[in-house]
Structure 1
Amino acid sequence: MKRIIIASVAAAALVGGGTAFAVASDGTDSARSSSTAFQATAARASLSDAAHAALKAVPGTLDSIERDHGRWEADVLGQDGTWHEVTLDANAKVIDQRVDRDTDAEDAAEAKALRNADVSATEAARKASSGTVTSVEFDDDRTPVWEVETVTNHKERDLTVDAHSGKVTQAPADDDHGDDDSGDDD
């Protein structure tokens, strides 16, 4: 039961983005050095730090980077033209790196558009920084843009940054059509 409580406190701290410290005990009043301690902390590295570390691990062009569950996940178009997935911990230390072998014609078109972008992912994040940037992703569906997600005072804001001019605009509202989490009973 004590382990469940400790895990719950740790999970709540991670979800809330805060810090928690819990110690498991054998039920006696005396604290022992063999007690289990767990400290959970929110991501400490900035998007810029994580992007730099991902590009150091895989030289190339950053296609997307996002903070998810205390980790950073990045997609990089390597200098050799292969797509890579890089996972970094909260301190921007690479913990996993692999080649994405599931590529198709759309990926080739995106690679071409990404190489032709005048604005990089980190530049887009700087231009759109109206708070903490939690995600930057290249989108070449129509006009090539960077989709940037920021959080200020617990409020999420979605912006787009033109990949050529650097112009920042408010992203169109997400209509949730086709989203499995929409809760619609159609």
Structure 2
Amino acid sequence: MKRIIIASVAAAALVGGGTAVAVAGTQSSSPATQSSAPAAASTGASLTQAADAALKAVPGTLDSIDRDHGRWEADVLGKDGTWHEVTLDANGKVIDQRVDPDDNDPEDAAEAKALRNADVSATEAARKASSSTVTSVEFDGDRTPVWEVETVKNHKERDLNVDAHSGKVTQAPADDDHGDDDSGDDD
């Protein structure tokens, strides 16, 4: 915990243009305070580490992963064909896993088929799309299957699409407040 506080104070001081002096006491060796992440303890698990942990908890194919409010939320299509929601803490430890009861309609079957046929995985899409921090990757198999990747660099968000077959990275179309792909056109 001391390492997180020290890193946070130092980062805040440097961002603010000042300097920081920190004195660290002895480090606790309890498993709860040690991080297996190779990066600084304040950053927690990377998207790849969180994805690996989610897939270890539920073997299958990662459909989406998103960092929100200090936690990772992942959707996994299990090898048995059921959809699972996996919640991980900031360090990538699974804190909840359950079958998603809402994902059982025919549209989800089409999504599952497109996801299974993708040549590029979620973590590969994240690597292809970013030289900055990836905060979200989500599969979209509605038309041309793509991975929607959200990145952040210097506090600026950028949305990219990665073709699920070729791996080609393109800028995502600007969001339109007048329409939403999830609005459910009932024709």
Cα gap change, 1:67/1:42 in structure 2, threshold over 3 Å: closer, same or farther?
farther
Q: 107-116 or 41-50, which moves further after superposition?
A: 41-50
Larger radius of gyration: 1
CA deviation after TM superposition for structure 1 residue 153, in Å: 0.3
Match for residue 143 of structure 2?
142
* Shift, 1:178, TM fit: 4.5
**Aligned residues, how many?**
142
- C-alpha separation between the residues in 2 aligned to 1:175 and 1:79? 35
CA distance in 2, matches of 1:104, 1:164: 25
CA deviation string 1:98-149 (max 9, x = no partner): 0011121111100000000000000000000121000000001110000000
Structure ranking higher in strand proportion: 1
2:91 corresponding residue in structure 1: 91
Equivalent in the alignment of 2:128: 127
Please name the residue that 1:67 is paired with: 67
Poorly superposed stretches of 4+, deviation over 2 Å: none
Q: Is residue 157 of structure 2 the alignment partner of residue 156 of structure 1?
A: yes
On the 8 A contact 1:42/1:90 being kept in 2, the answer is no
Deviations 1:161-183 (CA, angstroms, capped at 9, x unpaired) = 0000000000000011247xxxx
SS in 2 for 1:114: helix
Q: In the aligned structure 2, how far is the partner of 1:43 from the partner of 1:67?
A: 12
Q: Secondary structure at the match of 1:135?
A: strand
The aligned counterpart of 1:107 is: 108
Structure 1: stretches of 5+ with no match in the other structure: 1-17, 21-40, 180-186
SS at 2:53 equivalent: helix
